[in-house]
Structure 1
Amino acid sequence: MQQAKAILANTALLNALQLLVHQAGEAIMQVYHTDDFGIETKKDDSPVTKADLDAHYLLIDGLAKLTPNIAIVSEEDPASQAVPQKHNCYWLIDPLDGTKEFINRNGQFTVNLALIENNIPSFGLVSTPIDQTLYWGGKHLGAWRLRDHTLEQLHTQTCHVPMRVVASKSHLNEATRNFIASLGETTLVQAGSSLKLLRIAEGEADIYPRLAPTCEWDTAAAQAVLEGAGGKVTQVDGSPMKYGKTDILNPHFVASS
């Protein structure tokens, strides 16, 4: 957490990182307003667009200048996944989280930038390009949201009755339905990409069970923000999430207030 504290204490660096994530969002929106997204299919059968790649190059170039001593792992650079085996501190980025949402033009996509220290996300920055809202924070460091020039500190809320469950229609598998059923009376909150975790940080939801595949870059930045707001993200058995694994896939997890 030493680097995360140093970033928050360095106003100029924090502002530069916020601007960088904002610029990545602007690059994404430039593609969003065109007719050709340049959609291709990656080896894992997931889609990638010109927006993913434009944001990727902007972020890695900017981070290399701002923090030249910190290595970078990006979803759009498969070779970079070897970085955690040699570095215990590195940036983990998802240049465009929610590519399918982007393609569907529903606005539910984000830019994710996380700092990983000793296998945990110590600091996270998340931008929502559609409205350029910015979230940042980390465990024991607090969490903030900048929206429409208004800065607010974020705090999770005590659980509501009925419990507000974040769930995605596209990932509402049988295991997730059974988990939700075990909670008793609930209402569903819809959100895409890392916005699911942020809804809990904002006090707009109580719990998010994820019993379907995700990758480390999908969750790290928003996990840091949620933890800064007072929430938590654990594996289903209650054990901590671990980052920098040889396998980039996350275990099933539960995020909560």
Structure 2
Amino acid sequence: MTDEELLNLAARLAGQAAQAIREIRAAGFSVERKADDTPVTLADRTAEALIVKGLRAATPGIPVVAEEEVAAGHSVALAERYWLVDPLDGTRDFAGGHDSFAVNVGLVEGDRAHLGAVALPATEEIFAGIVPAGMAWKEDAAGRRPIRARAVPEGGAVVMASRHHGDDPRLDRFLEGRRVAEIHKIGSAVKFCRLAEGAGDLYPRFGRTMEWDTAAPQAVLEAAGGRVAGFDGAPLRYRKPRFENHAFLATGAP
């Protein structure tokens, strides 16, 4: 399959998972706790099963690493390319009645995010991008159109911060001396998407994340002209032990 075909597959499955999540949310659900005390719901499991089945059927030669399977102890032998799936990024926000949660389907090539699709169930938006092609788009009720990250406006940066880590004193230290217009504290990959479409400028992340949290949205943002790197300036890479990320900074266009 070509990169464009792989992207269309990821976007289609993310969109189908988003629809399933909306239906479960409307019907009502209970919240359980995993071994690491993080929440999980029927929506997480249903969305993951749908995406994983679709990816393995369409691309049997590309391994799939999915959050809930990893949590259940399922291990996968990685290849040059592998899928990373977070079926419901922002489960705490979903369970808490907020709208900032997402479905992430990303493809890693080597140790870099190569392409990815992010669906936002609450707002019925899908973002997608192929990094080497520099092609990113957004699809919503108005149709599909290209998106591009922006340079920081003269009036100051719009900062996207984690809802659950927004009071971290490291955020205040990072912003000290910077011209800041607004700070939005929201959850999940939504933050990357707003940078990718030119509605935000900075997303500093100091706390722990996993590769499935970032692969798809990193691909979208970098395809749109933005960047995701460690605070040392090194690009955020993949194929790490236990799939754990270090702290990073997501930015819009230079």
Determine if the TM-score, normalized by the shorter chain, exceeds 0.5.
yes
Where structure 2 has 5 or more consecutive residues not aligned to the other structure, the ranges are none
Equivalent residue number for residue 70 of structure 1: 62
- Cα–Cα, structure 1 residues 170 and 14, in superposed 2: closer, same or farther, change >3 Å? closer
- From 123, 139, 159, give the equivalent of 1:131: 123
Distance, in Å, in 2 between the alignment partners of 1:57 and 1:244 is 23
Query: Which residue type is aligned with residue 180 of structure 1?
Result: L
- Cα–Cα, structure 1 residues 210 and 16, in superposed 2: closer, same or farther, change >3 Å? closer
Query: Which residue type is aligned with residue 27 of structure 1?
Result: A
Q: Percent identity?
A: 36
* Contact kept? 1:189, 1:205, Cα under 8 Å: no
Deviation at 1:82, TM superposition (A): 4.3
Aligned 1:42-61 pairs, distance under 5 A: 42-61=34-53
Distance, in Å, in 2 between the alignment partners of 1:15 and 1:211 is 32
Distance, in Å, in 2 between the alignment partners of 1:132 and 1:20 is 14
Q: Are 2:30 and 1:38 equivalent residues in the alignment?
A: yes
Cα RMSD for the two superposed structures: 1.6
* Contact kept? 1:38, 1:50, Cα under 8 Å: yes
Deviation at 1:7, TM superposition (A): 2.5
- Cα–Cα, structure 1 residues 224 and 81, in superposed 2: closer, same or farther, change >3 Å? farther
Q: Are 2:109 and 1:117 equivalent residues in the alignment?
A: yes
- From 16, 20, 27, give the equivalent of 1:27: 20
Equivalent residue number for residue 146 of structure 1: 139
Distance, in Å, in 2 between the alignment partners of 1:108 and 1:166 is 12
Equivalent residue number for residue 90 of structure 2: 98
* Contact kept? 2:115, 2:131, Cα under 8 Å: yes
Distance, in Å, in 2 between the alignment partners of 1:131 and 1:179 is 30
For structure 1, which segment, 71-80 or 180-189, has the greater mean C-alpha deviation from structure 2 after superposition? 180-189
Deviation at 1:169, TM superposition (A): 3.7
Aligned 1:152-171 pairs, distance under 5 A: 152-160=145-153, 161-171=155-165
Number of matched residues?
A: 247
Aligned 1:191-206 pairs, distance under 5 A: 191-206=186-201
Where structure 1 has 5 or more consecutive residues not aligned to the other structure, the ranges are none
Equivalent residue number for residue 176 of structure 1: 171
- Cα–Cα, structure 1 residues 183 and 147, in superposed 2: closer, same or farther, change >3 Å? same
For each residue in 1:14-33, what CA deviation from the matched residue of structure 2 results, as whole angstroms up to 9, or x when unmatched?
54443222111111111101
